Amino acid sequence: MDFLDLLLTLVCAAAGWFWVDTLRAREIARDAGKRACLRAGVQFLDDTVAGTGVTLSRDGEGRRAIRRTYRFEFSDTGDNRLEGSLVLLGGRVEYLFMEPYRMTAAPNQ
């Protein structure tokens, strides 16, 4: 095996790892967005998140990690679309934001 074959193999392995890691991170983000909407009593729309950015950063312990930003949509009334976003650092949610929405009062029991 010459140097070019080795380099191509390493590049393909790195691309495969990044692809699988991105799928895992997307699932974590989708679940976090869905849980946030459930806690807030709003509807998580389209059952998906969309990636909007990827950067390298350092975590709290100084290790390099991939920071990914996602956006999602939710509805407070069922006939509008509001936007939320979240940031993952590695596999952990670092930040979650939901656009201001109308809160309905819980029925008296």
Give the H/E segment covering residue 105. Answer: none
Q: 12-35, pLDDT tens digit by residue?
A: 999 999 999 999 999 999 999 999
Mean confidence (pLDDT) of the chain: 92
Q: What are phi and psi of 28, to 5 degrees?
A: -60, -45
Domains of the chain, by residue range, sit at: 3-98
pLDDT tens digits for 55-79? 999 988 999 999 999 999 999 988 8
Q: Provide, rounded to the nearest whole percent, the portion of the chain with pLDDT above 70.
A: 94
Q: Whole-prediction pTM value?
A: 0.84
